Amino acid sequence: MKEHLRRVRWIVVDEVHELATDERGVQLSIALERLLELTGVEFQRIGLSATIGEPERIAQFLAGTNRKISILRSDEERGLEISVGSVSPTHKDQEEASGLGLPASTVARARKIQQLIEAHKSTLVFTNTREHAEALASQLRALGTTSVRVHHGSLSRELREEAEKEFQEGRLRGLICTSSLELGIDIGSVDFIIQYTSPRETTRLVQRIGRSGHTLGGTSRGIILTTSPDDILESAVLISRAKQGRLERPIIHEKALDVLAHQIIGILLQERRMTAEQILHLVQRSYPFRELQPDELDDVIHQLDELRLIRKFGDTFSPRNPKAIQYYFENLSVIPDVQKYTVFDFFRKRRIGTLDQDFVARRCVSGAEFILHGQTWRVISVDEEKLHVEVEAAPPSLTAIPGWEGDMIPVQMDVASEVGRMRRTLALSGELDGVLEDPEREKASATLALQAKQAKIPSDKLVLVEGFENSVIVHTCAGNLVNEALANAMAALFGSRLGSNIATQVDQYRFALIFPRPVSAYMVAEEFGKLTPNDLETMINDTVEHSDLFAWKHWHVLRRIGAVSRAAEYKARQARLLVDIFKNSIANRETRRELFAEKLDIEGAKKLLSMIGSGDVLLEAVQDAGQCTPLALPLLDRIVPHGLLRPAVEETSIIEVIKSRLLSTKLRLLCINCGKWDGIRTVDNLQEQIRCPKCRSTLISATYLSNDALPRIIQKKINGGKLQAEEEKEWMTAWRSAGLLQTYGKKAGLVMAARGVGPATATRLLRNRTGGEDDLYLSILRAEREFERTRMFWD
């Protein structure tokens, strides 16, 4: 391979903007400098992209330092026809919605998509999440549409290629996809694009709409189908920016120390032996590491030495094989491996969905509540070995968070600020210079008019602090990452003062602080107004490493530098311990860098606080008068989806569910008197007095179906054999079980059919019965819950 690489004279990177803005690009930048060491001569680097916010910066990224750059811009003018669309449910939509069990607005949007697909020859429908893609496909099938398929990264390669082929051949009229079809996969001619909800970035909008009319001089045509007034205005802003060519500024990961650690091992495997100075010279040629300091490199080398991945000979370093080789090839990917946990309904003992490992690790502790499939669930237990989460239905709660919460594309501060400006303009004049058609403009205006009746309209010039029940919503048109930084700082501030955890929820136009009890919005506004840029930075720096997100990211950084095995599974408690152990290491610094680059816009938050301090942005407060304002609803719907949540299971319904499950459970019955009878019975078919059909004894033990050890133990005991300690324990359990069945009959079988309820617990439940049958079922449920909560601590 080396000999082939020595002859490389050109490197072409397609869709270079995609690589430049994540850690894969950092990896590539050093890899190109390593390739130069092989070729011995400069090769030409060519980057291609139709959507670059700052071409000069991306060119510098690809070229590295001290190299000549040429930027060629195409003279081709492609037309761009994009509109903002919305729907109003008809009577027919309402009728069908009732039959399908869906909101009428959802059916109306699905029908609009169906009509648009049928009106064009080939249509791509882009969604921002896999969940939306699957839901839309299901809704279209329910409406009778058969010529569409789904395409996203979770599907097998075979299924994706099959869908692409059918679309290319014209057998499919539409493909519902995520970013999986955003880039240059050849799927033939596309004449129309539907973007379901705002694409959240101008770059993404241009990329997606650009998949249609993909010919020289062609016109790209499409529509953004919106779902809310915020969605309407955000889409209008993105379209306006797209037509002006104002794309987002690319964020390049600079001095990513975990990537550097991995590439140093690659350099040493390639060169065999190098000094720190030689490594620094090579690495500094790459754009992301152009400002790397010698002491920063020394810290990374020291960490690799401590992990016994390299060894020192005088002033040179070499890899420790085979450990270094294994580490290098196991960590070629910088994308974290994320497992899925299966969520089980504790009462019905059935699967209800899945959660990402990072969500479980950060959010799922016993008693925590989250939303999945429109229902609020309370966590009973988490099994990290089986990757299971046991839950029970819970009433709607302001502290529950969406289980599907994931890494949505963040809306940047300047886009959110323009939406705020548009709100202000629309509220004052009712006009928006032809950006929106009348129906969409009127919908946005109607919401702002309702808002104005209850409170001020938050905008780019006004922050509104709103109290509602036990939440305080801070309306800031500042974007996801700014709001994330502000929410973290304010939660830390009030958490320390109140001595309790303050939950948060964030979107691009507001953040919520969720308190254990109602708190005055005026008090929160006063404290927010006092927060200075320096206070904010200090607070976040002091508290960030105590967060669950920090522990999660820190774990993955440790994997990438070789401190944690690639095969190791994430465990929250161990991850927190590792944060303390590696507190002064490069892993801590790198985790902070990643969080501040990807999750928190500290500079943007400081800018907003400065504008509040100077009076350029006003700060107002309003306390609820029994209802929230219209502009608070989008965030409150994420905390408790009003109109979407089904009621929690009523107690009478719970009893019926438990009763049905227990009565249908099968038990294995064994005679401990003669040892000759071994049968299986459902609890419902048990007699009040159970006898052995062989010897007529009532000494019958009940156990679980797969307990194949018990029959052998019974025979050994009957034959006078000496039992081992574990066998004696099993025999005594069987003896107590038989005593219960003798005394209580079928009721004992019912109780012992419960999960985790052995003879000792069953005896307590049966002896302490004071009420009727329903009370017994509720006692069994409580015992099952207790078992689930405590079994991780059992031997």
**pLDDT, tens only, 181-208:** 877 666 668 889 999 999 999 999 988 8
Q: Which of the four pLDDT bands, split at 50, 70 and 90, describes residue 401?
A: low
**Mapping DSSP to helix (H, G, I), strand (E, B) and coil, where does residue 370 land?**
strand
For residues 692 and 60, what is the distance between their CA atoms, to the nearest angstrom? Answer: 85
Give me the amino acid identity at 591.
T
For residues 703 and 666, what is the distance between their CA atoms, to the nearest angstrom? Answer: 9
For residues 167 and 181, what is the distance between their CA atoms, to the nearest angstrom? Answer: 12
DSSP category for residue 631: G
- Residue 31 is part of a domain; what is its CATH number? 1.10.10.10
| 470 assigned to some structural domain | yes
What does pTM read for this prediction?
0.73
For residues 141 and 703, what is the distance between their CA atoms, to the nearest angstrom? Answer: 47
Last residue of a domain, one of 402, 423, 446: 402
Say whether both 395 and 544 belong to one domain. Answer: no
**Token pair for 646:** 């089904």
| 414 assigned to some structural domain | no
β-bridge pairing 148-151 and 174-177: parallel
Say whether both 603 and 717 belong to one domain. Answer: no
What burial class does residue 77 get, using C-beta atoms within 10 Å of its C-beta: 0-12 exposed, 13-18 middle, 19+ buried?
exposed
**Contact between residue 317 and residue 274 where contact means Cβ atoms under 8 Å apart:** yes
Query: What are the phi and psi torsion angles at 390 (to 5°)?
Result: -90, 130
**Contact between residue 594 and residue 557 where contact means Cβ atoms under 8 Å apart:** yes
Say whether both 29 and 176 belong to one domain. Answer: no
| 423 assigned to some structural domain | no
The Cβ of residue 456 has, within 10 Å, a number of other Cβ atoms equal to 18
Residues in the chain: 795
The answer on pLDDT for 617 being more than 70 is: yes
DSSP category for residue 125: E
Say whether both 635 and 657 belong to one domain. Answer: no
Most confident of 94-103, 150-159, 559-568: 559-568
Sheet strands side by side (includes 316-319): 274-275, 316-319, 310-313
| 436 assigned to some structural domain | no
The answer on pLDDT for 367 being more than 90 is: no
Residue 221: closest CA among 195, 247, 187: 195
The DSSP secondary structure of 679-741, one letter per residue, reads EEEEGGG--SS---TTT--S-EEEE-TT--HHHHHHHHHHTTPPPPHHHHHHHHHHHHHHHHH
DSSP category for residue 212: S
For residues 132 and 628, what is the distance between their CA atoms, to the nearest angstrom? Answer: 27
**Contact between residue 189 and residue 122 where contact means Cβ atoms under 8 Å apart:** yes
Top pLDDT among 234 and 776 is at 234
**Contact between residue 756 and residue 787 where contact means Cβ atoms under 8 Å apart:** yes
For residues 385 and 613, what is the distance between their CA atoms, to the nearest angstrom? Answer: 51
Last residue of a domain, one of 639, 671, 693: 639
| 21 assigned to some structural domain | yes
Provide the number of structural domains found in the chain: 5
Say whether both 265 and 237 belong to one domain. Answer: no
The DSSP secondary structure of 5-50, one letter per residue, reads HHT--EEEEETHHHHHTSHHHHHHHHHHHHHHHHH-S--EEEEE-S
**Contact between residue 325 and residue 285 where contact means Cβ atoms under 8 Å apart:** no
Q: What is the reported pLDDT for 356?
A: 76
pLDDT, mean of residues 281-286: 96
Say whether both 615 and 658 belong to one domain. Answer: no
| 220 assigned to some structural domain | yes
The DSSP secondary structure of 633-672, one letter per residue, reads HHHHHHHS-TTTPPPPPPHHHHHHHHHHHHHT-EEEEEET
Q: Is the peptide bond before 533 cis (omega within 30 degrees of 0)?
A: no
Q: What is the reported pLDDT for 398?
A: 42
Summarised one tens digit per residue, pLDDT across range 682-707 is 998 898 899 999 999 999 999 988 88
Summarised one tens digit per residue, pLDDT across range 16-60 is 888 888 889 999 999 999 999 989 899 999 999 888 888 999 999
Q: Which of the four pLDDT bands, split at 50, 70 and 90, describes residue 668?
A: very high
The answer on pLDDT for 647 being more than 50 is: no
Say whether both 154 and 271 belong to one domain. Answer: no
**Token pair for 414:** 């300047």
Roughly how many angstroms between the first and final C-alpha of the chain, as a whole number?
Answer: 53
For the chain, what percentages of helix, strand and coil (3-state, to nearest 5) are there? Answer: 50, 15, 35
The answer on pLDDT for 444 being more than 60 is: yes
Q: What is the reported pLDDT for 459?
A: 96
What sign for the dihedral angle of Cα 49, 55, 61, 64? Answer: positive
| 430 assigned to some structural domain | no
Q: What is the reported pLDDT for 265?
A: 95
| 67 assigned to some structural domain | no
Say whether both 757 and 657 belong to one domain. Answer: yes
Residue 13: strand pairing partners: 47
Say whether both 235 and 269 belong to one domain. Answer: no
**Contact between residue 247 and residue 52 where contact means Cβ atoms under 8 Å apart:** yes
Say whether both 138 and 200 belong to one domain. Answer: yes
Summarised one tens digit per residue, pLDDT across range 632-641 is 988 887 665 4
- Residue 169 is part of a domain; what is its CATH number? 3.40.50.300
Last residue of a domain, one of 213, 228, 244: 244
pLDDT, mean of residues 443-448: 91
Top pLDDT among 87 and 160 is at 87
Say whether both 32 and 83 belong to one domain. Answer: no
Longest dimension (CA), the chain: 97
* CA distances (Å), origin 127, targets 124, 158, 180, 768: 10, 21, 10, 56
**Contact between residue 294 and residue 32 where contact means Cβ atoms under 8 Å apart:** no
Q: Give the DSSP H/E element, type plus range, for residue 193.
A: strand 192-196
Task: Print the domain residue range for 181.
Answer: 79-244
Summarised one tens digit per residue, pLDDT across range 301-346 is 999 999 999 999 889 999 998 999 999 998 887 766 667 788 888 7
**Contact between residue 239 and residue 433 where contact means Cβ atoms under 8 Å apart:** no
Say whether both 204 and 289 belong to one domain. Answer: no
**Contact between residue 194 and residue 124 where contact means Cβ atoms under 8 Å apart:** yes
Summarised one tens digit per residue, pLDDT across range 458-499 is 999 999 999 988 889 999 999 999 999 999 999 989 988 888
**Mapping DSSP to helix (H, G, I), strand (E, B) and coil, where does residue 517 land?**
coil
Q: Give the DSSP H/E element, type plus range, for residue 139.
A: helix 130-142
